[in-house]
Chain A
Amino acid sequence: EPEVTQTPSHQVTQMGQEVILRCVPISNHLYFYWYRQILGQKVEFLVSFYNNEISEKSEIFDDQFSVERPDGSNFTLKIRSTKLEDSAMYFCASSEESSTNQPQHFGDGTRLSIL
């Protein structure tokens, strides 16, 4: 069964540095998402992306964050000037269509630790 893959599995970064989290969505999927999960809490939506542009973003997704699809397979989340509170699990997801009726499939996540 095809899967969403994410790298790295764990990223440790000094506060103030920039990080890039990488995702390879399922190959025939057209819609991509980033979510985050602070330890012990619920999963929170960050951003959705389609046709090389952001479809929606949450209040969490401020100017510190950006997303990009640099080639035909990768989907990245960049976090600039990282803060301690950015420490969380970041999940990428993808779906075939964006109609509010289609399942989203999640990757294994990247655990981001800000020191």
Chain B
Amino acid sequence: GENVEQHPSTLSVQEGDSAVIKCTYSDSASNYFPWYKQELGKRPQLIIDIRSNVGEKKDQRIAVTLNKTAKHFSLHITETQPEDSAVYFCAPYLNQAGTALIFGKGTTLSVSS
């Protein structure tokens, strides 16, 4: 069946530190790997995504790396700020699931100043 594992479930860092969240998926045919940020009571907001033809993508302080062989992709946030505090979800398309995004269980990131 569909399987998306996300680690860690919680992550606490000091402002200015880096944060890394890892997502492991089961379907080797997957080709699209987004990360969503969800603040309390708000919508999941797409913050970065990567397609299977590249290994890394960067957007200012946020980057995503993809290892298709090992079937995992990671979110990297550098120079964290208190406003980065939120729940982060990986949500790959799993080929067997067709058009559905399959969300991980989420990582609660807390950035303290």
Interface residues of A (CB under 8 A from B): 31, 33, 35, 41-45, 48, 55-56, 58, 91, 98, 100-109
Task: Write out the residue numbers on chain B whose beta carbons fall within 8 Å of the beta carbon of A41.
Answer: 105
Within 8 A of A (CB), among B57-110: 89, 91, 93, 95, 97-106
Q: A42-B103, A43-B103 are in contact. Are A100 and B43 (CB under 8 A)?
A: no
Contact check: which of A43, A55, A105 meets B91 at CB < 8 Å? Answer: A43
How many residue pairs between the two chains, A and B, have CB atoms under 8 Å in the bound complex?
63
Task: Write out the residue numbers on chain A whose beta carbons fall within 8 Å of the beta carbon of B45.
Answer: 106
- Contact present for A104 and B32 (CB under 8 Å): no
Q: A48-B98, A98-B99 are in contact. Are A42 and B104 (CB under 8 A)?
A: yes
Distance between Cα atoms of A102 and B51 in the complex (Å): 9
Within 8 A of A (CB), among B4-58: 30-32, 34, 36, 42-46, 49, 51
Nearest-neighbour CB distance to chain A for B68, whole angstroms, equals 14
Nearest-neighbour CB distance to chain A for B39, whole angstroms, equals 11
- Contact present for A100 and B31 (CB under 8 Å): yes
Contact check: which of B32, B97, B106 meets A45 at CB < 8 Å? Answer: B97
- Contact present for A100 and B42 (CB under 8 Å): no
Task: Write out the residue numbers on chain A whose beta carbons fall within 8 Å of the beta carbon of B93.
Answer: 100-101
Task: Write out the residue numbers on chain B whose beta carbons fall within 8 Å of the beta carbon of A91.
Answer: 43-44
- Contact present for B32 and A102 (CB under 8 Å): yes
Distance between Cα atoms of A35 and B102 in the complex (Å): 10
Q: Which residue of B lies closest to A49 (CB)?
A: B99
Q: Which residue of A lies closest to B93 (CB)?
A: A100
- Contact present for A103 and B34 (CB under 8 Å): yes
Q: Which residue of A lies closest to B30 (CB)?
A: A100
- Contact present for A48 and B99 (CB under 8 Å): yes
